[in-house]
Amino acid sequence: MKESKTRTIVKTIIWRIIATLNSFFVLLYLNDSNKDNLYKAVFMNITGFFVYYFYERIWNFIKWGKK
């Protein structure tokens, strides 16, 4: 199975939007805390890991753009 270039571009754009929203909400949630930046970066990457996992699983069900 191969992906079309259009599918890859759409997936990439949507992922960047989701990743930016993930970062925004994590930093918004942790903004009031006295946690250091390392904690925030680790937490953001952990949440990003799970969000990306489910994002890819969802795209596996979408047939559009597969060759």
State the residue range of the domain holding 55: 5-61
Q: Work out how many domains the chain is built from and give that number.
A: 1
pLDDT exceeds 70 at position 20:
yes
pLDDT digits (tens, 9 = 90+) for 52-66: 999 999 999 999 999
13: in domain: yes
20: in domain: yes
**Mean pLDDT of the 15-20 span:** 98
CA separation for the pair 40, 11 (Å, rounded): 26
CB atoms within 10 A of CB 10: 16
Q: Which amino acid is at 55?
A: Y
Quickly tell me which residue has 């989701």 as its tokens. 18
**Mean pLDDT of the 40-62 span:** 95
CA separation for the pair 47, 45 (Å, rounded): 5
Q: What pLDDT score does 33 carry? A: 67
66: in domain: no
Q: Which amino acid is at 67?
A: K
67: in domain: no
DSSP structure class, residue 64? T
More confident call, 12 vs 35: 12
